[in-house]
Structure 1
């Protein structure tokens, strides 16, 4: 398993080693110890999600209040998606920056993102299936979104006319979310992560 940090602090790309023969393929798509060594703390597993999307569907950009936020580890188990991590932490050196990682059922890469980062993806195939491991459960009223077509972000969605949910289509822009006080703060996210490290040491 190869784990590479992305240009946004708290975001990582994970490439598993695949073992193929005439019967098929075997791989470890998640390793508790390997991820903890790379990230500096373990991923507490509280919820697992699965979504299927038609080609051109965009989900996101989603994030949760910090604390506790919601760290995510996800992979595309069928089909292909373009996965996007956005730094929406006010005060972060890379605030407003994004990274895009293709996830599919061939390379079997995964993405980890820490609490406080925004996340979304676009389905590149029909019935693209994404599996998520989450550090906290869904909390109504504490989950938010940024409009995925916000021109300030300029996200590289490949779909000509992305299909959005009504909720995502009504989400504020990054500037509007910041003005409304919805965005997490970099210092608070760093302090929360450090607190978790201290509690385990």
Structure 2
């Protein structure tokens, strides 16, 4: 496990055990991730498929008290994953961090509560696996515009194929004070 520029955002590099038959990778181990999970437990696992290169999903989060820690991993293809810290009082408030996640690098990001998450597809038919510590709650969902000038995220490709929901996310305003539990 290694820290990133976002307070509490951790990168976990997983090794593949290879032999003549192929490879084996552990996708999740509660014991190994216990220092990060604490008393939290994984309550929901989701998978997404995004077909088009350049497509962006996000930036999504759930408001407190339904905020969730997410563990995300690309299981097919390659994506550029972005996390934005929206936590009031955090040392990395309104900063963003991006990593390339791929089936090949087997990297896992552990995203703390109060951070928005999104990604851009770098290879067609990319699939993501998400582990959540909170159940999805439509009344708690939130989002931030992918091209918010206050964040100035430098997407690697021209952005395309945004969902109707993601096109409606607001930009942060100058009086945005952040999310708090």
Report the TM range for the smaller structure's normalisation.
Answer: over 0.9
Q: Give 1:91 shift.
A: 2.3
Do the aligned residues in 1 keep the contact of 2:6 with 2:92 (CA within 8 Å)? yes
SS of residue in 2 equivalent to 1:174: coil
Do the aligned residues in 1 keep the contact of 2:66 with 2:137 (CA within 8 Å)? no
Question: RMSD value over aligned CA atoms?
Answer: 1.6
Q: Give 1:40 shift.
A: 6.1
Q: TM-score, normalised to structure 2's length?
A: 0.93
Q: Give 1:177 shift.
A: 8.5
Which of 28, 31, 34 is the equivalent residue of 1:30?
A: 28
User: Size of the alignment, in residue pairs?
Assistant: 180
Q: Does 1:155 align with 2:153?
A: yes
The answer for unaligned runs of 5 or more in structure 1 is 189-201
What does 1:33-44 correspond to in 2, within 5 Å?
33-37=31-35, 39=36, 41-44=38-41
Aligned to 2:102: 104
Do the aligned residues in 2 keep the contact of 1:32 with 1:43 (CA within 8 Å)? no
Aligned to 1:171: 169
Q: TM-score, normalised to structure 1's length?
A: 0.84
Do the aligned residues in 1 keep the contact of 2:85 with 2:92 (CA within 8 Å)? yes
Aligned to 1:92: 90
Aligned mates of 1:141, 1:176 — CA distance in 2: 25
Distance 1:133 1:45, change over 3 A: same
Aligned mates of 1:117, 1:171 — CA distance in 2: 15
Higher relative contact order (CA 8 A, sep 6+): 2
For residues 41-98 of structure 1, the C-alpha deviation after alignment (integer angstroms, 9 at most, x for no partner) is 1541111111111211111111111113111001000000011111011222211101
Aligned to 2:130: 132
Aligned to 2:120: 122
Aligned mates of 2:29, 2:39 — CA distance in 1: 10
Identify, as 1 or 2, the structure richer in helix: 1
